[in-house]
Amino acid sequence: MPIHDWTLVESGIFHDFHHSWTEEIKRTLNRGLLPPGYFALAEQIISGPIADVLTLRQLEKVKPKKAEPAGTAVLSAPPQARYVLRAETERYARRAKRVTVRHSRGHVVAVIEIVSPGNKDSRNALRTFVDKMADLLRQGVHLLVVDLFPPGNRDPQGIHKAIWDELHEEPFELPADKPLTVAAYQAGDEKVAYVEPVAVGDVLPKMPLFLEPGACVLAPLEATYEATWEVFPAALKGLLEGPEAIS
């Protein structure tokens, strides 16, 4: 299903879609996409900020590459992406004392964030979001960030560039015809970013959701976006697709 132009509607309409999409991603991950010992929760507060979807691991040690249930595919080969960027370990930053992010029922290993207009509508909002993402990576939490809104004055090269500059400044420029961003981040001693620029009308790409360095599952972005769109109010679909979408 093609990505819609969410700039055509007010923030509250996207907020409703965002909420439903988050729940659909959580349900899909918990229906067997995640290996044994892993589970996803929605909108959990972790050390202050609220994440869209958390992937958690039970407190006992889990080795996801073994004893996988039917239908679960944990990938160990390097994912494919248009841009692959690597950042060396932040030697001095790692020496600083940091809060270990935990959940009462498990250890947080990954976070999925769907960017909302509110994350970028002020300098402070963007700074808060970027700081949260960079801090999670430093804590060893893997990320998947989906930004379906074009860059603005505060993030001229998109949300990935804003996040990555906190870890490793290097040139990065979004293609003029692909102003939206989907980016997966592998945490660990070496942080790796897999970045796919996309545009309105594109299909959401297959992206890795890392569970540990070198091991990931494919995030169900496209399937869950389509499932969420199917139950989106027809009158609101008309604002994004035209009057013919209203049946």
| Domain spans, the chain | 6-239
Question: What's the confidence (pLDDT) of residue 43?
Answer: 63
Question: What's the confidence (pLDDT) of residue 170?
Answer: 87
| Helical H segments across 165-230, by residue range | 221-230
Residue 77 has pLDDT above 90, yes or no: no
Residue 52 has pLDDT above 90, yes or no: no
For range 37-63, the mean pLDDT: 56
pLDDT digits (tens, 9 = 90+) for 154-172: 999 999 999 999 998 888 8
Residue 134 has pLDDT above 90, yes or no: yes
DSSP summary character for residue 203: B
Termini Cα distance of the chain: 18
Question: What's the confidence (pLDDT) of residue 48?
Answer: 44
Integer Cα distance of 188 and 209 in angstroms: 14
C-beta pairs of 100-107 under 8 Å, 24+ apart in sequence:
100/139, 101/46, 101/47, 101/136, 101/139, 101/141, 103/41, 103/44, 103/46, 103/54, 103/56, 105/56, 105/58, 106/39, 106/56, 106/57, 106/58, 106/59, 107/56, 107/57, 107/59
For range 221-226, the mean pLDDT: 96
Residue 94 has pLDDT above 70, yes or no: no
Question: What's the confidence (pLDDT) of residue 97?
Answer: 28
pLDDT band with cut points at 50, 70 and 90 for residue 71: very low
Residue 220 has pLDDT above 70, yes or no: yes
The H or E element spanning position 191 is strand 191-198
Among candidate residues 49, 35, 143, the one with its CA nearest the CA of residue 99: 49
> Do 119 and 125 meet the contact criterion of CB atoms below 8 Å apart?
yes
For range 188-202, the mean pLDDT: 94
pLDDT band with cut points at 50, 70 and 90 for residue 64: very low
Average pLDDT, the chain: 79
Residue 119 has pLDDT above 50, yes or no: yes
% of the chain at pLDDT higher than 70: 72
